[in-house]
Amino acid sequence: MFPNNFYWGASSSAFQIEGAWNEDGKGLTVADYNSFKKSNKQADTKVASDFYHRYKEDIQLMKELGLKMYRFSISWARIFPEGDGKVNEKGIDFYNDVIDELIANNIEPFITLYHFDLPFSLVEKYNGWTSYKTTEAFVNYAETCYKAFGDRVKKWQINNEQNLMVRVNERMNIYDAQGEEAERLRVIMDHQMFLAYAKSSKLCKQLVEGGSVGPSISATVTYPATNKPEDVMSAIWNNRLKTDYCIDTHVNGAYPNYYLEYLKETNRMPNISEEDVVSLSESVVDFITVNYYRTLTSRHLPVDANHFKGEKIEGFNIVDYNMYGYWEILKNENLKESEYGAQIDPSGLRIALNDYWNKYKKPLIITENGLGTVDNLVDDKVHDGYRIDYIKSHLLAIEDAIRDGVDVFGYNVWSIIDILSSHQGFKKRYGLVYIDRTDFDEKDLRRIPKDSYYWYQDVIKSNGQNL
């Protein structure tokens, strides 16, 4: 049931896989800075999975796997060590080598320009995304990449999970602000990222012959805890304010009215100029990329004498926060969960794909989906049947969505090899290939295909017939 030209792929991100954090002119990033603060607790970005030095070996593993696509990110600070200013030609050379190696092995490169790793120099100079100067720097960086790589790379993802990234203080370099000050900063930064997307997506169509471009969203599917109307509405609001507003803005080229009303009511409205309105209206979306891991369940959380409407408090975690006047996140007792608390729900992926297709009529591709858990290496083997079960169930959900009439043109498992987890280092593993290292012992960084690697190889070979 999968189309003959379906892209069977895998994904990664620069700071989680490359290592070589300061080699060949690369600058410090926010992701580096945050990882170094945790160096006494887990691995950091200095070596990660050492893709920078072992990319040929890793791409050979991709070829043997049968990948049709590899979705990876470019480190902005490897191209512009200061975020703006002078280009680092050695950074251009590295990504040219990676792209050429992929193409030589019949794997299509799919590039993400920004995956949580803002050059730290832009934090020091402009306070990051609070400034339009960072937006200008990003557009210049995007233009540089289109010109350097656009002759061979035709599919571009501007940013990874803007709607999730903006919720995490350390990813947005919000280190000191608290409460409403932090919330207003968050909205300002979000606005600048919307402008960066719109301007860069327009530029892609101008500079990349045959190029296509789209945003990445972290999918939010929320079930109401009961059929009470206020609980049903809480689920709608959780979807709206964590994901839908982002896709609506990208696709429609303007903020949706429900989002503007929310910003006004909570006194979080950013300054939006007439020029900004025009820029947003010129946003280009050829496809939507979907990262999917879990669903949520909510009930209405009323305000009271001690809390105001729009006040946020931590829920299951900082990403799945609760908000007074809107929702409270609950555990869904009908679902199993991963070792790290993500509730496993393949049906939610079918729901998300149908929802996004019916609303936007844009082709969809899954750019992240996978299981992060502890893997055990025994006699040079990893028997990860639990990962196979996870991926299989989600691929069957995609197949159902395709039967429903949804245009899904690819699936990229997260991730191709074990990578550095932002919060669990190398304890939490996602890869189809085991990296023989721990958080504090790099060992030999040997690559060892897991059972899931060979299973996915067979799936690809059969174009999904052997699920």
Mean pLDDT of 340-365: 95
Residues 377-422 have pLDDT tens digits of: 999 999 999 999 999 999 999 999 999 999 999 999 999 999 999 8
Domain hosting residue 99, numbered range: 7-222+285-292+337-461
Residues 297-324 have pLDDT tens digits of: 999 999 999 999 999 998 888 889 999 9
Q: What pLDDT sits at residue 322? A: 95
8 Å CB contact between 365 and 406:
no
Cα–Cα distance measured from residue 367 to residue 460, given in angstroms and rounded to the nearest whole number: 16
Is residue 429 in a domain?
yes
Chain Cα centroid distance, residue 381: 29
Sheet containing 7-11, strands listed edge to edge, beginning at the edge strand earlier in sequence: 212-214, 155-159, 108-114, 69-73, 7-11, 408-414, 364-368, 288-291, 216-218
Is residue 121 in a domain?
yes
Q: What pLDDT sits at residue 390? A: 96
Is residue 231 in a domain?
no
Q: What pLDDT sits at residue 339? A: 80
Q: What pLDDT sits at residue 416? A: 96
Mean pLDDT of 227-241: 98
Q: What pLDDT sits at residue 63? A: 98
Q: What pLDDT sits at residue 454? A: 98
8 Å CB contact between 414 and 456:
no
**Token reading at 274:** 């007439």
Mean pLDDT of 226-244: 97
What is the three-state SS of 255-269?
A: CCHHHHHHHHHCCCC
Is residue 189 in a domain?
yes
Mean pLDDT of 358-369: 98
Q: In Å, how far are 58, 70, 184, 335, 452 from 10, measured between CA atoms? A: 12, 5, 36, 26, 13
Q: What pLDDT sits at residue 177? A: 87
Cα–Cα distance measured from residue 356 to residue 354, given in angstroms and rounded to the nearest whole number: 6
Best CA proximity match to 372, nearest among 416, 337, 340: 340
The residue behind tokens 């969809």 is 364
Q: What pLDDT sits at residue 52? A: 98
Cα dihedral across residues 35, 41, 44, 49: positive or negative: negative
- The overall pTM is greater than 0.85: yes
74-92 residues labelled b (16+ CB within 10 A) or e (exposed) = bbbbbbbbbbbeeebeebb
Q: What is the DSSP string of 233-262?
A: HHHHHHHIIIIIHHHHHHHHSS--HHHHHH
8 Å CB contact between 373 and 390:
no
Cα–Cα distance measured from residue 30 to residue 36, given in angstroms and rounded to the nearest whole number: 10
Mean pLDDT of 129-148: 98
CB-facing half-sphere around the CA of 341: CA atoms within 13 A: 9
Phi/psi of residue 122, nearest 5 degrees: -70, -25
Catalytic residue positions? 161, 368
CATH number at residue 447: 3.20.20.80
How many separate domains does the chain show?
1
Is residue 322 in a domain?
no
**Token reading at 186:** 């968050």
Phi/psi of residue 211, nearest 5 degrees: -80, 150
Q: What pLDDT sits at residue 338? A: 82
Where residue 423 falls among pLDDT bands split at 50, 70, 90?
confident
Is residue 111 in a domain?
yes
* pLDDT more than 70, % of the chain: 100
Peptide bond into 415 cis (omega under 30): yes
Residue 105: is its pLDDT beyond 90?
Answer: yes
Inter-helix orientation angle 274-281/179-207, to 10°: 50
**Token reading at 415:** 């991730």
**Token reading at 4:** 């003959």
> CA angle, 68 as apex, 381 and 139 as ends, to 5°?
110
Is residue 236 in a domain?
no
Where residue 336 falls among pLDDT bands split at 50, 70, 90?
confident
Expressed in angstroms, the distance from the first to the final Cα of the chain is: 11
Question: Average per-residue pLDDT in the chain?
Answer: 96
Is residue 430 in a domain?
yes
Q: What pLDDT sits at residue 90? A: 98
